[in-house]
Amino acid sequence: MDLRLTAKEKRFREEVRDFIATNLPEDIRSHLRAGHPPTKDHIVRWHRILNTRGWATAHWPKEWGGAGLSPVERMILTEEIFLAPAPTPLVFNSSMIGPVIIQFGSEEQKRQFLPKIANLDIWFCQGFSEPDAGSDLASLRTLARRDGDHYVVTGQKIWTTMAHHADWMFCLVRTDPAAKKQVGISMLLIDMKTPGVTVRPIMSIDGHHHLNEVFLDEVRVPVENRVGEENKGWDYAKFLLGHERTGIAGVGRSKERLSYARELATQVKAGKRPLAEDPCFREQLALIEADLKALEITQLRVVAGHAGHHADKPDPLTSVLKVRGTELYQAVCELACRSAGPAAIAIQPAGGAADELDAAPRWGAALAPSYFYSRAASIYGGSNEIQKNILAKTVLGL
């Protein structure tokens, strides 16, 4: 297998770099470079800028606003966005519910939702996890009772990322409680303004509000908002999660953080010399760089082999990318955090304005929250333990 980029793919990388250099607002770039999570305004603004080129939904068919990029071109685009650094297109819209509606939605759903999803005119969140149904998602208990032309939904979702920003939720509900747990599940699109929907914040260890509980109390959802067939939601969820994991290796994200750690190490002293000259630091840096290169090659092998894979089934090898990608991202964040030393536990100023943090050692205040949040990467998107089970069964045949 030839893993070298073609001349066309190299030209595409240059085109992406030029576009980002010209169009990425500096306030967004500097905010992310300092290690802060993007705000809603950052995500919406950048998503819409990308959408002017069809790059917010780069893998969608052109008829629905995408760019029809190949898997390799999409990988290049994602890597350059991470390296900028810039926010990635909203994954719930572009990589999760969008492809599901394209594949399984009704024509009316495609006309109603896809243009707004592509331009982030509406923001979707994911209503999958429940208090007793996270990694064991099939145990979900949120019920949807049919009442004429509506479903009446009652239950609770948890760890719902950015539900406080969302206009809509794609939600798994149990429509046949008597069926075995993987059967009898349907997928509904729920307007978050519907009476009976309550969002309550969960503050995470990094001190930011990313997560929520969502309570559904007798929420009436029109039947036409069901995606695909009734009781087939488990199949659609597997399709959706396969798309989510494709980009989760985050090679570009780890490269950007590694670059930042290297930059910080030139500013920090280890004794009388810059930390960048410390043998232990250099050894850790080299080990991560080598592992990251190996992951990048593995990602290329998976992406290059994508054409022969069934489009309606997730590739189990994406689990390799998910597990190793999150482990390396956490290692990079830990290295950057160690670079700051005691400055990493400094109190972050209210609002965390990037210009306040650029002057050493204030930049350190953003590193510990960034490191803490990186720990969540091995949980969201299907925990690493679950991914290892998938690999054991589908790749190793155990």
Q: Which residues does the annotation mark as catalytic?
A: 244
User: CA 387 to CA 323: how far, in whole Å?
Assistant: 7
296 closest CA partner among 331, 271, 321, 277: 321
Exposure of 111 by Cβ count < 10 A (0-12 exposed, 13-18 middle, 19+ buried)? exposed
User: CA 335 to CA 331: how far, in whole Å?
Assistant: 6
User: CA 264 to CA 269: how far, in whole Å?
Assistant: 10
Its sign, for the CA torsion 350, 353, 358, 359, is negative
Strands 124-127 and 168-174: parallel
